[in-house]
Structure 1
Amino acid sequence: MATSGRVHIRRGTAEYRRATFALFCAGFATFALLYCVQPLLPLLAAHFSVSAATSALALSFTTLSLALCLLVSGALAESWGRKPVMAAALGVASLLGLACAAVDSWEPLLVLRALLGLALSGLPALAMAYVGEEFDPESLPAAMGLYIGGTALGGLLGRLLAGLLGDLGGWPLALGGVASLGLLALVLFVWLLPPSRHFRAQRLSFGGVLGNFATHLGNPRLRVLFLLGFLLMGSFVALFNYIGFRLAGEPFGLSSTVIGSLFMVYLAGIFSAGWAGRLVPRFGARRVLLGGVGLMLAGIALCATAWLASITLGLGVFTLGFFAAHAVASGQVGHYAQGAKAQASALYLCAYYLGSSLVGYVGGYVWEHAGWWPLVAVLAGLLVIAGVAARRLPG
């Protein structure tokens, strides 16, 4: 394998294990740094004397800057390469995470969180493009599933650790602890990930960048996938943003640690991301996507009840469906993109994180002015639209 630059990484080899674990670490750190604030939102709202929707800006600012900057970083990556940019992005983001723990004013915290999103914009699209370029076609769905599984584990441990540390030492200790995990993930990523073999640098041209974006946006199948990214992630983040407020209030009255422990349901996402990737060759992407959306709808119906056991089960089913659908949709972007795969991935992730920012914030407005059940109804409506869109993909 080392003698030929044309050979792709194949499943079952030592190189495959190293590469997938490195990407797993990158996905882990990305989601941990992004979403560690989610179980801390009630603490932030109380500490800074802001509303629930305003506290959610600590997450929405990060995902919004990430979404917008992805379009730039995805274009630059076609000229600059893959691994060096990803490593730099992860390192800077981890340092900004440490800086967030050192401030005690709301506006500087939001600025640092926005800068953290900007830094991380150099990682997700490049990781997806790396998988699409370096793994052979038969290994690609499973490799993408493992990367998405890393994001699930990052979301889980980031939230669990943040909830625990938040109760022990407040939100600054929580943010600093998660940022330290990001630095550890960086070391493993740099050590394990093989250099790109199939990346071919393009001359940076403004016209070429716009042409690539126009080509991708003109592809009807990619447009469906971009819409799915927006709807799926928007629904996912809105539910997890405000479930903490729901469970912290009456009749539940749960602590940050207990609320954070409910994110153990992310273990279902680690399983379902890889599982869904392996089902695609057998059943087709459309069927697996529709199955994932159906599970999300079932989960959100359970979350509409007033029983803690039912809500916990609903979060698990919802998470199972989300990561299955996201793993398949993100893998299909590389399949349908004709060249400039990093830019295609950037457009998907831009829509994905715009959904996180916009639906995540608007969900807070619905929660504050209408309550829990109207919020659940809005999210269910978005998922119905996602299911209708997924039916337009080839079987």
Structure 2
Amino acid sequence: MPLIQLLISCVFIFFVLYAPQPLLAIFAQSFSVSPATSGVLMSITMVPLAIAPIFYGLLFARKNPLDILKKAMLILALTSVLFTLAPSFELLLALRFVQGLTLPAALTAMTGFIGQQYSGMQLQQNMTRYIGSTILGGYLGRVLAANFASWFSWQSFYYLFAFSLFVLALCIKPQRCQRPEQAPASPKAYLKPLHNRLIVRLFGCVFCMFFCFAALMNYLPFILQDMFDITDSKTIGWVYSGYLIGAVISMATPRLNQYFNNSWRWLSTLFAMYCMTLVAMQMPFLSVFLVTFTLFCACMFMIHASAAPLANKISDAPPTVTNGAYVSFYYSGGALGSFLPGLVLQNYGYHAFLFSLLLVCATGLLLSYMTYRQGTSMT
């Protein structure tokens, strides 16, 4: 399977995960549910993403990753079509849960294929390209879903990417990929990173980071509607451009990191900036919100880009084990952040919502700063 085909497939797979996010206000109105309840559409998908990668890594150890990817893409295509036809919100939730179980299978298969086919510098470069395709898929999934909802209907976008997933799946030739021969690791091995106090603190930082990010991204349509009177889904979709701009800014992370001789101090600085953006968003000016939202996204990607390699540096466990645990903490924060802050927004308003995120973000800052003050040196 050519790498470019895999990267294109990855972009469309991430459409499935993030397309509902800018449409939550539409779903809330169409099915007469509260904003917090509509946010469950994201939470119920991220819960399996937080747990399944560990078990899928063991379950698929002797399977052909391309065969898994092909079946997963077909399931995602089918459930996406059924999603447009669902007559009730409960059925939407059921379909999103099935997608949540299928998405980590596809992601595990893609990373497994890259790890199996490439090594050395090629492995690092192609894994970076894969991460780039996930960012692009997250951005385009949000923006295109919002714009299609404004131009045509939100269902039309689902039909488009479901058809694309179906065609891309049929183009996969599993027989061209050799089955891996290594034996699967013990399930207990996935608990090994948690024996390291530094790893636990770092994973706690990652949890806090994505909790705040998922919350703001999830309830952005409601915030723009209530605070700035923006109701057009197309305009809401373009506000998500701050996500992509932030991702581009985060590419400077390695260069900026050179000015710090301690990774924990660098993380503390990023979390401090993360907190400052949440404070600045309290001001009721759209221009201020757009700028700080972009900086907020940039901080998130910088923390992510710094924490992932740091976890692999300080962990004694195998890389697959460390990264599996990292992904679990990452999406656990996303699952809770997609729902709990919505209750605060719904019952206490925008400013209380931001304050709750600030508390979680400050916890991440405290975890990183405590480690730095205790003299941990990781250059």
**What is the TM-score normalised by the length of structure 1?**
0.81
Q: Indicate if the aligned counterparts of 1:29 and 1:154 stay in contact, CA closer than 8 A.
A: yes
For 2:80 and 2:87, the matched residues in 1 are separated by: 14
Moved more, 293-302 or 350-359: 293-302
1:201 aligns with 2:185: no
Q: CA deviation at 1:361?
A: 0.4
Mean Cα deviation higher: 84-93 or 309-318: 84-93
| 2:303 counterpart residue number | 325
Mapped to 2, the partners of 1:182 and 1:274 lie a distance apart of 29
- Asked if structure 2 preserves the Cα contact closer than 8 Å seen for 1:300 and 1:376, the reply is yes
Q: CA deviation at 1:121?
A: 1.3
1:375 pairs, out of 353, 359, 374, with 353
Aligned with 1:312 (options 290, 301, 309): 290
Partner of residue 350, structure 1: 328
| Residues 127-276 of structure 1: pairs in structure 2 closer than 5 A | 127=110, 143-183=126-166, 190=172, 200-203=181-184, 209-276=186-253
Deviations 1:235-268 (A, max 9, x none): 1010111121011125423311111111111222
Alpha-carbon displacement from aligned partner over 1:104-149 (angstroms, at most 9, x marks no partner): 2111111011100100111335555666676656666665443333
Judge conservation of contact 1:36–1:178 (CA < 8 Å) in 2: no
1-structure distance, mates of 2:135, 2:201? 23
- Kindly indicate whether the alpha-carbon contact (under 8 Å) linking 2:22 and 2:220 is maintained by their aligned counterparts in 1: no
Q: Give RMSD over aligned pairs.
A: 3.3
Normalization by structure 2: what TM-score? Answer: 0.84
Equivalent residues of 2:58, 2:187 under 8 A apart: no
The answer to whether the aligner puts 1:360 opposite 2:338 as a matched pair is yes
Percent identity reads 24
Which of these residues, 14, 20, 24, is aligned with residue 41 of structure 1?
A: 24
After superposition, the C-alpha distances for 1:12-48 in whole angstroms (9 at most, x for unaligned) are xxx9xx64x5564355334321111111011000000
**5+ unaligned residues in a row in structure 1: which ranges?**
1-14
Cα contact 1:299–1:313 (8 A) shared by 2: no
> 1:14-163 alignment to 2 at 5 Å?
19=3, 21=4, 24-25=7-8, 27-80=10-63, 82-125=65-108, 127=110, 143-163=126-146
C-alpha contact 1:150 1:270 (8 A) present in aligned 2: no
Change (3 A) 1:130 1:344: farther
- Alpha-carbon distance between aligned partners in 2 of 1:134 and 1:304, rounded to the nearest angstrom: 48
Query: Which secondary structure state, in structure 2, belongs to the residue aligned with residue 254 of structure 1?
Result: coil
Distance 2:126 2:263 in 1: 16
Judging changes above 3 Å, is the alpha-carbon distance between structure 1 residues 148 and 177 closer, same or farther for their aligned structure 2 residues? same
| C-alpha spacing 1:58/1:212, structure 2 compared with 1 (3 Å) | same
- C-alpha distance in 1 between matches for 2:354 and 2:53: 30
Cα shift at 1:331: 3.5
Amino acid at match of 2:195: G
Could you give the per-residue CA deviations for residues 21-78 of structure 1, whole angstroms, max 9, x where no partner exists?
Answer: 5564355334321111111011000000000000111111111122222232122233
Deviation of 1:374 after TM superposition, in Å, equals 1.2
Cα distance in 2 for residues equivalent to 1:129 and 1:330: 17
Higher mean displacement: 63-72 or 294-303:
294-303
In 2: Cα distance, 1:82 partner to 1:328 partner: 28
Partners of 1:89 and 1:38 in 2: CA distance: 21
Looking at structure 2, the residues matched to 334 and 131 of structure 1 have their Cα atoms a distance apart, in angstroms, of 18
Equivalents in 2 of 1:231, 1:110: separation in Å?
Answer: 25
Q: Quote how far apart the aligned CAs of 1:159 are.
A: 0.8
CA deviations over 1:332-371 (Å, ceiling 9, x no partner)? 4444555653343222212211211112200110001111
3-state SS, counterpart of residue 186 of structure 2: helix
CA distances 1:133-178 after superposition (whole Å, capped 9, x unpaired): 7665666666544333322211111111111112234332243334
CA distance in 1, matches of 2:203, 2:343: 25
Greater mean alpha carbon deviation, residues 336-345 or residues 377-386: 336-345
CA 1:321/1:138 → structure 2, altered by over 3 Å: closer, same or farther? farther
**Which consecutive residues of structure 2, in runs of 5 or more, have no partner in the other structure?**
none
Which segment drifts farther, 85-94 or 382-391? 85-94
- Gap change, CA 1:279 and 1:125, over 3 Å in 2: farther
Q: Kindly provide the CA deviation profile for residues 191-240 of structure 1, in whole angstroms up to 9, marking residues without a partner as x.
A: 8xx9589x65214xxxx533212222223343233223321111101011
Within 1, Cα distance between the matches of 2:278 and 2:94? 33
Q: Distance in 2 between matches of 1:334 and 1:81?
A: 26
